[in-house]
Amino acid sequence: MTSPPTDLVHRLRRHRQEHVLTGWDQMSRAARAHLVDQLAGVDLAELDHLYTRRDEPHTALPPRDRIAPLPVEPPTETAVAIGEEALRNGEVAALVVAGGQGSRLGFDKPKGLFPIGPVSGSTLFRIHAEKVLALSRRYGRAVPFLVMTSHATHADTVEYFEGEHHFGLSPEQVQFFQQGTMPALDLATGKLLLEKPGELFLSPNGHGGTLTALTDTGLLPELKAAGVKHVFYFQVDNPLVKVCDPAFVGRHIETQADVSSKVVFKDDPAEKVGVLAEIDGRCGIIEYSDMPPEMNEERTADGTLAFRAGNPAVHCFSVEFLERVTTGADRLAYHIARKKVEHHDLATGETVTPEAVNALKFELFVFDALPLADRWLAVQTTREDEFAPLKNAAGNDSIDSCRRLMTDRARRWLTAAGATVADGVAVEIAPTFALDAAELADKLPPGLVVDEPMYFNV
């Protein structure tokens, strides 16, 4: 390729982005092909549109009288048999989203490789994979394990799974698929930012990119053809998640929900979590940053927060619903975030490390699919039981708090099973040893005393 393709040049000119071709003549053949390839995946008209809308709110919240607290079911075991039957029939897949860059944690590999196990040092990926393995053994059917990566995490993730022999899962059971990317724009000018000459600055397109990637990669039709009817969605950074929880999946099936969500009640208005609510008669999320202060503080007659249905990002989607929201006119819209982006400056030929916000980044959020559901379900769970997010190196939702929640739950299960656990002793239960408190109780010898750190593993 000696000169850039004419149609590309026209397209770039039309959108005032021809600066990205600067230095073309000095680029190698491979570098040129790479740039053309990157640009082929960029929708310049959409970027123009997003840049024009940069000061508008994503969605304006309607007035208070069109918003109501979302009814939330208490956890129930009534539909466990339905969920178990679906697992036995191969109708449920587990999907972990692991494409994020984990910038707050400051770990130099994908977050899934973080050794979070308080005693074993097991990584997040190992813990999740062992849950899938334990479920597959329990129900006598391989549960498909879908791992969504991004260009930032894909190679390391696949290499890690291969090196660990897929943690005992069969390689065919684990399906990796990559989410899409989005460029960043210079805030002041709307120009595409470059990572280096001839290389666009690209980031993963947000966890909502899962939905489009499922279709764009052809995975969704494949799953459907294999008989999968429901997809259990969770985030890589929550080691306590009850993957494919049969009670939850069972209620999801029983109520014929398009999407079901777990909810962790918020009891402190200061807790920075998005809440599920009924907005114009549909299920939606009010992000913490969009929550009007008076609604955030509003309480019901019994003193609890009126809007307390916190979102731990655990959902079950019906495959039919996923098809609808990824192929029709219902596609999700990008959120616009103002960020500091280190980039290559063509004028000076240097890397710029900005002191202040200098760029717009664009992300899809998975919960934007919720208002598209015609039937939905919300089921309560607790932080202690099921939500230990690993976001930060220290402080809230940190390595320490995550390990503490893991140990505390293991301790509760052990105590309920009749064991005595000495104060301050770290304990951990491998999912392949016990997936829940009842299974642990079946396996423990009577009168067990734990007075040193212990990892219960097969």
Task: Judge whether 315 and 261 are in contact, CB under 8 Å.
Answer: yes
Q: Would you tell me which residues interact with ligand UTP (CB under 6 A)?
A: 97-105, 111, 148, 150, 179, 204-207, 209, 235-237, 391
Residue 336 contacts by C-beta under 8 Å, 6 or more apart in sequence? 50, 53, 54, 58, 360, 361, 362
Q: Which is nearer to ligand UTP, 179 or 318 (CB)?
A: 179
Tell me which residue has its CB nearest to ligand UTP.
Answer: 100
Q: Which is nearer to ligand UTP, 235 or 401 (CB)?
A: 235
Task: Judge whether 219 and 211 are in contact, CB under 8 Å.
Answer: no
Task: Judge whether 318 and 259 are in contact, CB under 8 Å.
Answer: yes
Q: Which is nearer to ligand UTP, 212 or 318 (CB)?
A: 212
Alpha carbons 120 and 57: distance in angstroms, whole number: 45
Alpha carbons 35 and 198: distance in angstroms, whole number: 6
Q: Which is nearer to ligand UTP, 104 or 137 (CB)?
A: 104
Q: Could you tell me the smallest distance in angstroms from the CB atom of residue 324 to ligand UTP?
A: 22
Q: Could you tell me the smallest distance in angstroms from the CB atom of residue 212 to ligand UTP?
A: 12
Q: Which is nearer to ligand UTP, 193 or 241 (CB)?
A: 241
* 98-124 as b/e: b if 16+ CB within 10 A: bbbebeebeeeebbbbbebbbbbebbb
Q: Which is nearer to ligand UTP, 155 or 438 (CB)?
A: 155
Q: Which is nearer to ligand UTP, 258 or 397 (CB)?
A: 397
Q: Could you tell me the smallest distance in angstroms from the CB atom of residue 401 to ligand UTP?
A: 15
Alpha carbons 415 and 149: distance in angstroms, whole number: 38
First to last CA, the chain: 58
Q: Could you tell me the smallest distance in angstroms from the CB atom of residue 105 to ligand UTP?
A: 6
* 411-448 as b/e: b if 16+ CB within 10 A: bebbeebebebeeeebbbbbbbbbbebebbeeebeeee
Q: Could you tell me the smallest distance in angstroms from the CB atom of residue 106 to ligand UTP?
A: 9
3-state helix vs strand vs coil in the chain, percent to 5: 35, 20, 45
Q: Could you tell me the smallest distance in angstroms from the CB atom of residue 421 to ligand UTP?
A: 30
Name the residue among 381, 370, 380 with its Cα closest to residue 281: 370
Q: Could you tell me the smallest distance in angstroms from the CB atom of residue 366 to ligand UTP?
A: 8
Q: Could you tell me the smallest distance in angstroms from the CB atom of residue 291 to ligand UTP?
A: 18
Q: Could you tell me the smallest distance in angstroms from the CB atom of residue 287 to ligand UTP?
A: 12
Look-up of token digits 């909810």: 263
Task: Judge whether 50 and 334 are in contact, CB under 8 Å.
Answer: yes
Alpha carbons 154 and 32: distance in angstroms, whole number: 23
Q: Could you tell me the smallest distance in angstroms from the CB atom of residue 392 to ligand UTP?
A: 8
Q: Is the dihedral of CA 415, 420, 422, 427 positive or negative?
A: negative
Residue 406 CA: distances (Å) to CA of 119, 217, 224, 303, 445: 10, 35, 35, 30, 22
Q: Which is nearer to ligand UTP, 67 or 259 (CB)?
A: 259
Q: Which is nearer to ligand UTP, 146 or 283 (CB)?
A: 146
Q: Which is nearer to ligand UTP, 392 or 457 (CB)?
A: 392
Query: How would you classify the pairing of strands 174-178 and 145-149?
Result: parallel
